[in-house]
Homo-oligomer: A and B are copies of this chain.
Amino acid sequence: MTIHDTARSLPATGSQDLPEVVRAAFERVESLMDEVVDSDVVVLRDASRHILSAGGKRVRPRLVLLAFAAVGGENPMMAAPVAAAVELVHTASVVHDDINDHGVVRRGRPSVNAIWGRTFALLTGDFLFTKVYELMAPFKDLNVILADATVALVEGETLQASAVKDNNFTREVYYKIIALKTAALFRSAGELGARLGDGSDEQIQALANFGFNVGLAFQIVDDVLDLTGDTEQLGKTAGIDLEQGRGYAATYEPDAAVTALKERVLKGGDAIGEAREQAQGFVDMAVAELDALPASEAKDALIGLAHLIVERTF
């Protein structure tokens, strides 16, 4: 079996798969991001729009808006700036990652780094981070939630770079890294949506947990795709994780020579099967959290999103 044969894919930026109730807000997220990065300083504007208009899966804003609707929030449009802010945190980190990793392809296009060079890529990432702050400024008490998640993201990226440098990429460290660099932001997306939608404490907790578990699954699958996918299909440089001695597969032999490890993982296939199983386990835990919610189209869409995250091929 090849994974590609059986898997469905997440739609890119389209809203057609979303429940009617959040569709306009999801489209507003796109226009908000486009507007907020406008600047007289044309490099910042152009580089930001380059990476934003390339799409990406927009999983985090989907999560914010669906969580909002799933707790019975009435006007999803009011959550659009927060959904945009969460996506900009991710986008800023992606732009900075591509500097550190020398990634030249991102979302199927040349990376900001590849086109504008390192200096402007660094400043574009900073610009996107400051725009997060600008978008969130009116949201008062919610700021601390996204601030904490952003701190965690940077800590996770740093822990990853440290573990690679120190030859210490164990399974335990790996889980700590993905909890910080990916799952914390997913968690905040669920929590922010549920809070904005005025969910009960139990619902807020359930959607935070849902986000966290989905985030873990998402990152594990991302790491699998780095090994099994190709650059064209992924829209980003494939194989970069293992080459740099990180990702799920690297935890098998944290001190192995990278080339030997890559060969072993790709031939043996044990890491890939096991990783997908782990991811499925987190998705199952995520979905179980949703028992705290009444039946709704948004709840169904969250369940669908969680499953697609494991099944996706890019």
Which A residues fall within an 8 A CB radius of B? 39-44, 93, 96, 99-100, 118-120, 122-123, 125-127, 129-134, 136-138, 140, 143-144, 146-148, 150-151, 153-155, 157-159, 161-162
Contacts and interface: CB of A to CB of B under 8 A. Distances in A.
A111 B147 CA distance: 26
A130 B143 contact: no
Nearest to A142: B137
Contacts of A151: 127, 130-131, 134
A153 B130 CA distance: 10
Given A100-B123, A125-B126, 13 more contacts: A44-B154, A93-B126, A100-B118, A120-B161, A123-B154, A127-B155, A130-B147, A133-B133, A133-B143, A134-B147, A136-B143, A137-B143, A143-B143
A123 B157 contact: yes
A70 B74 CA distance: 46
Nearest to A152: B130
Main secondary structure of the interface of A (DSSP, over half): helix
Contacts of A148: 134
When A and B form their complex, which 4 residue pairs have the shortest distance between CB atoms, in order from nearest?
A: A137-B143, A137-B144, A134-B147, A133-B147
Nearest to A101: B119
A43 B166 CA distance: 12
Contacts of A158: 41, 43-44, 120, 123, 127
Nearest to A162: B43
A172 B93 CA distance: 34
Which of A43, A148, A158, A162 has most B Cβ within 10 Å? A158
Nearest to A153: B130
5 contacts: A44-B155, A96-B123, A125-B126, A127-B158, A131-B151
A201 to B, nearest CB: 20
B100 A155 contact: no
Given A134-B144, A144-B137, A155 B40 contact: yes
A133 B142 CA distance: 12
A125 B126 CA distance: 9
A109 to B, nearest CB: 21
A305 B125 CA distance: 34
B41 A126 contact: no
B134 A119 contact: no
A133 B188 CA distance: 15
Contacts of A147: 130, 133-134, 137
A120 B143 CA distance: 26
A154 B126 contact: yes
A154 to B, nearest CB: 5
Nearest to A99: B122
